[in-house]
């Protein structure tokens, strides 16, 4: 199955310590998959510049899109923008538009703090989604989001069509059997349909094991053919 790929770099010590439960990974992976983009990597890193730089350098050339969440505010641990600058070897430059926004909307007085907050990586793109209080920052193929889930949802939805690709077709087959009972026919179908991705997910309830299978691919006909063969070999409707 060949489709655009993405990586998520989720930033925040609070997530690694368990103080805050992540809500962004599930949302972004689901939304991207629906748009035809497959998330291949999810990296959790602390609010440490070098950890972020290392994570970004690992994924940025291996994926079509990279999404970061967290580390976008004004406090000492908000180091994501500078880390992106270093990871992509782009110097930090002054953004007049950001400075005007900080002055007019947020009343940030002139000084070193305002100067720091209005610096972005050279060549970065600033998008201003409708009703957004702060622009969306894009550097190359890296899309920078804050960590707050409600803001991530709002900002991503404004950009979603930008990522739309050929759809990924999915089918599901629920079986009242264990994985051991279906492994041989499943393997036969997997071998016959190399362009379809299969998933097998056992479930346990009241001492009984059941399993459901998923089939995903970029060609709907192939997915349906694989499902048909699987049903035939398993003797189910």
Q: Which residues pair with 7 in a beta bridge?
A: 41, 66
SS3 235: coil
CB 35 within 8 A of CB 160: yes
Output DSSP code: residue 36.
Answer: T
Residue-level pLDDT at 76: 67
CB 174 within 8 A of CB 194: no
CATH architecture of 5-163: 3-Layer(aba) Sandwich (3.40)
- Residue 78's φ and ψ, nearest 5 degrees, are -95, 90
Give pLDDT tens digits for 20-63.
999 999 999 999 999 999 999 999 999 999 999 999 999 999 99
Residue-level pLDDT at 153: 95
Give pLDDT tens digits for 76-100.
668 999 999 999 999 999 998 888 8
Average pLDDT over residues 125-152: 89
208-217: strand order across its sheet: 169-175, 208-217, 197-205
For domain 169-234, the question of CATH label 3.40.50.720 is answered with no
- Residue 11's φ and ψ, nearest 5 degrees, are -110, 130
Q: Which residues pair with 198 in a beta bridge?
A: 215
From the list 207, 229, 225, the residue with the least C-alpha distance to 217 is 225
From the list 158, 159, 185, the residue with the least C-alpha distance to 173 is 185
Q: Which residues contact 26 (CB under 8 A, 6 or more apart)?
A: none
**Alpha helices for 6-144 (secondary structure H):** 13-16, 24-34, 49-59, 80-87, 96-104, 112-117
Residue 112 has pLDDT above 90, yes or no: no
Give the torsion through C-alpha atoms of 191, 194, 197, 201, to 10 deg.
10
Let me know the angle formed at the C-alpha of 187 by 182 and 188, rounded to the nearest 5 degrees.
105
Rg over alpha carbons for the chain, rounded to the nearest Å, is 22
User: Do 5-163 and 169-234 come out as alike in CATH topology?
Assistant: no
Map tokens 């994985």 to a residue: 179
Per-domain residue ranges of the chain: 5-163, 169-234
Give pLDDT tens digits for 175-224.
999 999 999 999 999 999 999 999 999 999 888 999 999 999 999 999 99
From the list 227, 212, 168, 221, the residue with the least C-alpha distance to 1 is 168
d(CA 231, CA 59) in angstroms, rounded, equals 38
Residue-level pLDDT at 110: 82
């Amino acid at each position: 199955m060949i489709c655009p790929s993405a990586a998520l770099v989720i930033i925040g010590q609070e997530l690694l310590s368990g103080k805050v439960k992540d809500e962004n990974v599930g949302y972004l992976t689901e939304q991207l998959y629906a748009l035809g983009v497959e998330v291949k990597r999810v990296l959790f890193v602390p609010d440490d510049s070098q950890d972020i730089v290392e994570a970004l350098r690992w994924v940025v050339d291996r994926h079509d899109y990279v999404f970061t969440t967290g580390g976008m505010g004004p406090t000492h641990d908000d180091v994501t923008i500078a880390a992106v600058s270093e990871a992509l070897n782009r110097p930090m430059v002054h953004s007049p538009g950001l400075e005007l926004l900080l002055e007019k909307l947020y009343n940030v007085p002139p000084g070193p703090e305002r100067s720091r907050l209005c610096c972005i990586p050279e060549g970065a793109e600033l998008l201003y989604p409708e009703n957004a209080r702060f622009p969306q920052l894009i550097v190359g193929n890296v899309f920078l989001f804050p960590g707050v889930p409600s803001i991530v949802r709002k900002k991503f939805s404004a950009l979603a069509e930008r990522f739309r690709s050929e759809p990924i077709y999915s089918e599901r087959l629920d079986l009242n059997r264990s994985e051991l009972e279906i492994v041989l026919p499943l393997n036969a179908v997997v071998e016959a349909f190399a362009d379809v991705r299969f998933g097998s997910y056992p479930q346990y309830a009241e001492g009984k094991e059941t399993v459901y299978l998923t089939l995903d691919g970029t060609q709907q006909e192939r997915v349906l053919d694989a499902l048909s063969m699987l049903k035939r070999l398993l003797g189910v409707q």
